[in-house]
Amino acid sequence: MSTVQEASRLGKFSWALFDWANQPYFTVITTFIFAPYFTSTVMGDPVTGQAYWGYTQAIAGLLIALLSPVLGSIADAGGPRKPWIISFAFLCAVGSVALWWATPNQADGVIWILAAIILGTASIEFSLVFNNAMLPSLTAPSKMGRLSGYGWGLGYIGGLVALFIILLGFSMPETPLFGLDKTLHEHDRITGPMTGIWFIVFLIPMMLFTPDSQPTGMGKKDAIIKGLTNLLKTLKSLKNHKNILMYLVARMFYNDGILALIGFSGIYAAGLFGWDTTTLGIFGILILVFAIAGSFIGGWLDDRLGSKPTIVISVLGLSVASVGVLSISHGEVLFGLPASMPAPGDAMLGSGAEQVFMGFSFIMGFFFGPAQAASRTLVARLSPVDHVGEFFGLFAFSGKATAFVAPLLIGIVTSLTGQQRPAMIVIFFLLIIGAALMSFVKEPRED
């Protein structure tokens, strides 16, 4: 890679703040609060809800897989990434705000809620393509791991703060902020508008202070034509870039497992233990504490050991956690050991089964950040400097090309078995296959 003109500290911090801006969507909407609320309360049945949620994420994943490489190529041809970022952030905010109308046991209009989830999920992922593509232009290759890890850590802190706001402001008080009505689950539904507004507000510093690529002077139509042409050339030439191709294939597997593990762990816990919003929020807070530590430590390891070892260690750690979660069922842990289940009057998270679940969840949280931050760094190190957006589009493609498969399989297996647990084994196999394929990837090292 060519020499990089370092961005200012404010510019790099503002770029990292993008993770703070977008993380509450993943933390609050797709993991700990809204997803369990949707599956258990909006649909009225955890099994049916999990199946519908799986199909929804499958559709969003397919859209992301098809469009991300195209958008990345167009951005490279046209120059600046910020206009794309703000456009998709706005669409994500629209989808998020629409979740306010997801009411309990909703008989009519569910299709519109599903459409809003798809819009929000696809849009936020599209914005990530352009944000990630800015990384190599902000700092030297030898420092990218720390900046990427710092961004992920800051993002998890943002998710943590958002969860605290929801718990202390809406979930735990008898009378929530703004006089929301708990009997109508308005304290759950407010998470949609809150995350949408949060995203837009905290995106402003990056728009103001982070340097962007200069305009090429090319019109939008010409940029689209050139971007598509370049993408076709890149796809044809991938056979000459076997190293990055192998990496993208490996990530295709392990990232599917990570996304499924993140997306369905809260849903599984809600169905198994009957957790309410407050318990799910505290669960999320505890997970994020470990994720924050893992992200900062992982960023340091990334620059010391390399992105590849950091990814492999993290994915194997997540595999252990997935087996641990899989081992827990009603009244049993570790595939057969008896354990108490929560009962009325028990302390929060006080049963034996819940405590074992939390132990494996802490392992899960610690390895989430390093796996994802080092993945972003590695593609930045492997990408040709003039085609960074393009390769980050392919990076998004590799993360989503088969991402619809895991939710789809989980949805199908859940529907066929009438249980949540059997579908979770899909996650373990995806993680292990991805880790094994990483052994064929060669990482360039630059001092």
pLDDT per position as a tens digit, 69-96: 777 777 767 678 899 999 999 999 999 9
> Domain for residue 445, yes or no?
no
Q: State the total domains in the chain.
A: 1
Counted residue by residue, the chain has a size of: 447
Q: Is residue 318 part of a domain?
A: yes
In one letter, which amino acid is 31?
T
Task: Count CB-CB contacts under 10 A for residue 442.
Answer: 12
Does residue 22 lie in a domain region? yes
- Name which of 169, 167, 170 is nearest 187 in CA terms: 170
Composition of the chain by helix, strand, coil, percent to 5: 80, 0, 20
Query: What integer is the mean pLDDT of 345-352?
Result: 79
User: Is 302 within a domain?
Assistant: yes
Task: Say how far apart CA 47 and CA 412 lie, in whole Å.
Answer: 11
- CB within 8 A of 136, min separation 6: which ones? 1, 4, 144, 380, 383, 385, 388
Domain assignment present for 2:
no
Output DSSP code: residue 345: T
> Residue for token digits 């292990």?
432
The pLDDT, as a whole number, for residue 4 is 59
Report the distance separating Cα 35 and Cα 404, nearest Å: 17
Coil vs helix vs strand at 289:
helix
* CB neighbourhood size of 73 (10 A): 28
CB atoms within 10 A of CB 297: 16
Pairing of strands 337-338, 332-333: antiparallel
* Residue 1 belongs to a domain: no
Tell me if 335 is assigned to some domain.
Answer: yes
pLDDT of residue 124: 95
Say whether pLDDT at 447 is over 50: no
Is pLDDT larger for residue 423 or for residue 133? 133
Q: Determine the average pLDDT of the residues in 222-236.
A: 74
Q: CA separation (Å) from 328 to 88, 261, 344, 348? A: 39, 15, 20, 18
pLDDT of 2 reads 46
pLDDT at res. 352: 86
Is the Cβ–Cβ distance between 411 and 217 less than 8 Å?
Answer: no
**What are the residue ranges of helices labelled H in 79-189?**
82-97, 110-133, 144-166, 186-189
Residue 446 has pLDDT above 60, yes or no: no
Which CATH number fits the domain that encloses residue 347? 1.20.1250.20
Residue 373 lies in domain: 9-440
- Local structure of residue 219 (DSSP, 8 states): -
| Mean pLDDT score across all residues of the chain | 84
Q: Report, as an integer, the average pLDDT of 48-66.
A: 82
What's the confidence (pLDDT) of residue 389? 65
Query: If you average pLDDT over residues 312-330, what whole number do you get?
Result: 88
| pTM score of the predicted model | 0.77
The tokens describing 423, both together, are 């579908």
Identity of residue 360 = F
pLDDT of residue 399: 66
Note the pLDDT tens digit of each residue in 187-197: 999 999 999 99
